[in-house]
């Protein structure tokens, strides 16, 4: 069976089998067999190809890593666990934002703490101009899910919707900036996600707790791991169903 994920990854990155073969030191026919016949490369070649196309090994070859090994690698993707999101050091947020050069992805209902940095609009605009892709997902203030979450936190049915309005007003100057997309979603938010290239802060939600008081995980993507990419895939699923805000 052909490896369509590998084929697609090469096409998206403008790479031919010959270029891949020259880059990792194998015969072009070997690369063709990896694509058309679904053969699995040796580990060293999987690492090299994954790096070339910026995809996880586990995505390109789901069965190549034994489950026990995948579990071990997944644990290594966790850099640190914080008891509360508001205990993540401000210096870490600043480093992640400043160093991001290719991908910035935010999935929240509100993310109001982000608006405390008045330079963030300028920073995101400059990063987009430099070629970064920035995607921001906020809750749909008219959705049942947002109202339910607001009630569950014990702050009133309409409190989170009002906060979303404030957050959208803050980020509205970025609307229409090339490289920056803003959408609203009406999904149940199990985790807030903040991705900066190959690092991510995951804020799992706890029933009855505001997001700032729930735990946070600092992750770093590893080629053969799938923890980081599971959350990234979740972002993509929400993104596809989201719509532009009603400014």
What is the pLDDT at residue 165?
Answer: 96
Longest dimension (CA), the chain: 64
What is the pLDDT at residue 68?
Answer: 65
Phi-psi category of 111—alpha, beta or left, where left has phi over 0 and alpha has psi -120 to 50?
left
What is the pLDDT at residue 226?
Answer: 77
Report the predicted TM-score, pTM, of the whole model to 2 decimal places.
0.77
Is there a contact between 106 and 97 (Cβ–Cβ < 8 Å)?
no
What structural domains and CATH numbers belong to the chain? 4-64 (1.10.260.40), 75-241 (3.30.870.10)
What is the pLDDT at residue 66?
Answer: 67
Long-range contacts of 15-24 (CB under 8 A, 24+ apart): 15/52, 15/53, 20/49, 20/52, 23/48, 23/52, 24/48, 24/49, 24/52
pLDDT along the chain (247 residues), means of 10: 91 92 91 92 88 83 71 78 96 97 97 94 97 97 95 92 96 97 97 97 94 95 81 95 93
């Amino acid at each position: 069976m052909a490896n369509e994920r590998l084929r697609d990854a090469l096409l998206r990155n403008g790479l031919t089998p010959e270029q891949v073969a020259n880059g990792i030191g194998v015969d072009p026919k070997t690369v063709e067999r990896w694509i058309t016949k679904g053969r699995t490369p040796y580990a060293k070649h999987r690492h090299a190809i994954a790096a070339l196309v910026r995809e996880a090994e586990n995505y390109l070859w789901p069965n190549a890593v034994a489950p026990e090994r995948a579990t071990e690698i997944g644990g290594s993707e966790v850099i640190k666990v914080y008891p509360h999101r508001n205990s993540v050091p401000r210096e870490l947020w600043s480093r992640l934002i400043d160093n991001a050069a290719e991908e910035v992805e935010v999935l929240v209902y509100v993310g109001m703490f982000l608006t405390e940095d008045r330079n963030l609009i300028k920073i995101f605009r400059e990063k987009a101009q430099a070629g970064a892709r920035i995607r921001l997902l906020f809750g749909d203030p008219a959705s049942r899910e947002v109202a339910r979450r607001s009630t569950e936190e014990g702050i009133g049915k309409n409190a989170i919707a009002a906060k979303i309005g404030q957050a959208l007003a803050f980020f509205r100057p970025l609307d229409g900036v090339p490289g920056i997309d803003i959408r609203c979603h009406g999904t149940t938010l199990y985790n807030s996600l903040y991705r900066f290239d190959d690092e991510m802060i995951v804020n799992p939600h706890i029933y009855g707790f505001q997001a700032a008081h729930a735990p946070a995980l600092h992750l770093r993507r590893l080629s053969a791991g799938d923890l980081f990419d599971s959350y990234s895939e979740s972002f993509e699923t929400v993104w596809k169903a989201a719509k532009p805000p009603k400014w």
